[in-house]
Amino acid sequence: MALGTVGNGTASATYSYLANSPLVQQIAFANSGAQRMVTTKQYDFLNRLTSISSVPSGAAAVSFAYDYNSANQRTLRREADGSYWGYEFDSLGQVKSGKKFWADGTPVAGQQFEYAFDTIGNRTSAKAGGARVIYLHLPEYDTIVLFYLYTKAHRENLSPEQLRRLRDAAAIIKREFRA
């Protein structure tokens, strides 16, 4: 028999299950008889969690949705604001990367992680970091121009040619502001 309600006097949680399944579909949390939050889960036909949403009383929902590959590995976690985490795996099923992106696909600074492994599964390297950002301050115009160049997980530094192009772009911006 599946658990229906558990509590300690003032706080309780009431569980409901998917039909003909041990999987929890919903949990209603209460305190002193007042409902405080409801968490709802959805699953695919392989019983993998595809979404979860918790709605606290008097607050916005916190929701996540998940995608999986054919090896049952979670490859994507979407958040309510449209941002998402993408995950990649190697042939041994080990996480090669976990990277967070804003809804428009821009990498989230500081939320880019990469891992490398040898052929028997030992981790050989790890990268973590944010973004390479350069600021051009134009105090006479009360302006700061931000150059978002790349995520640090993809590149260590600018090549000499890229640095030259950045300097050229900065010179053009300065010239346009002064014109």
Q: Mean pLDDT in runs of 10 for the chain (179 residues)?
A: 80 92 94 94 96 93 95 96 96 93 89 87 80 78 80 73 90 87
DSSP 69: -
| Residue 116, token pair as written in the block | 């490398």
Domain C-terminal end among 68, 98, 116: 68
pLDDT at site 108 = 86
pLDDT at site 103 = 95
Give residue 13's domain range: 1-68
pLDDT at site 54 = 95
Inside any domain, residue 105:
no
Query: For the chain, give me the number of helices (H) and strands (E)?
Result: 1, 13
pLDDT at site 73 = 96
Inside any domain, residue 150:
yes
Please name the residue ranges forming H helices in the chain.
160-178
Please state the pTM of the whole predicted model: 0.67
- Distance (Å, rounded) from C-alpha 79 to C-alpha 69? 19
Q: Residue 154 — φ and ψ, nearest 5°?
A: -95, -25
Inside any domain, residue 11:
yes
Residue linked to tokens 């959805």 = 42
pLDDT at site 25 = 95
Task: Give me the residues paired with residue 51 across strands.
Answer: 42, 65
pLDDT at site 153 = 58
Inside any domain, residue 85:
no
Number of domains in the chain: 2
- Distance (Å, rounded) from C-alpha 142 to C-alpha 140? 6
Domain C-terminal end among 13, 34, 68: 68
Inside any domain, residue 92:
no
pLDDT at site 152 = 66
Inside any domain, residue 94:
no
pLDDT at site 159 = 86
Inside any domain, residue 118:
no
